[in-house]
Structure 1
Amino acid sequence: MMFSWISSGFPLFIFLFFVVFFRAQLTYWLGRAAAHGFISAEKRTGFLGAIARWFNGPTPRKGAHILDKWGLVVIPLCFLTVGVQTAVNAGAGLVRLRWRTYTLAMIPGCIAWAILYSLGLLTLWTSTLQAIAGSPWGWAGITIVLLVFGGLIWHTRLRRNKESVCPITPSDSESAELSRSHQNEDI
């Protein structure tokens, strides 16, 4: 049963915003609680102790650092996906991302999610992707986009490797001049 005041428009958007806001916060805090529980077992031996030591190790710290650095991009974008959202929100809690950073990063995602769901755009978005992926022309277009994107990445990496492997060296004529100048200094 749906209340008539949230059936459409701005009230529906507000309702959905708070639904996703509290769901994301709950997922984050469950991840934090799990991390805290494992960390408190650090002095234990066996499997629980190993997990607790892992939570205090370099991997979660690196994850927290990456989320601190790039979380403002990853966290809101996860709200535009289906299935990744919970993993990202729980992961932010597991690596003990600062609450303030997490909350500020998730608010734009919550707004986008509420807009998509209140206007029915999520259905349109997924239907469009399914239609593109179901058509041979759609698959061809996706393949071309992926090939172009992969080619650009490959070209950029190749250029970076050339720059790092081949330092700037003087030409043969410059080398000859340098050796003559050093010989003249010796005289």
Structure 2
Amino acid sequence: MFCIVMARANGTYWLGRSITAGLSRSRKAARLLEGRHYVTATRWLNRWGAPAITVSFMTIGIQTMINLAAGVTKMPLRRYLPAVTVGCIIWAFIYGSAGFLSLVAVERLWQRSPALVIALGVLAVAGVAWAVLRKDKPSAVAHQGAAAPEPQAN
């Protein structure tokens, strides 16, 4: 697990370095660097420095962008590698232990009630589908706010 996450994190760092080396002219790279998650990751990195990389491995959804931001900002390897190594160790431990325990729990629940495991799986898939579909729909409030600018006081 450690090797997998270390390869992924460092690959993302080097992707960030390559973006600054010329790939930034592509539309995809430009969109990536303007995204909400990248902006948040850059803010974390600017505020906390290398420890933000280590802490990002204990979060969901920001870890990749932190590593990308470290590459884009050309964080020196002497600061990046220790931070990413500690983060990868933490990640491997969390996912190795929690992942194994989760599989054991599902196996034991299956032995007692296969129908419950199937129902929970269907519920989880439905929840993910709902979240994804809901995220893609623009909200009515956002359209109303954009359509009518607020009047300025004189």
TM-score under structure 2 length normalisation = 0.49
TM-score under structure 1 length normalisation = 0.41
Q: Which protein is bigger by CA-based radius of gyration?
A: 1
- The higher relative CO (CA closer than 8 Å, separation ≥ 6) is in 2
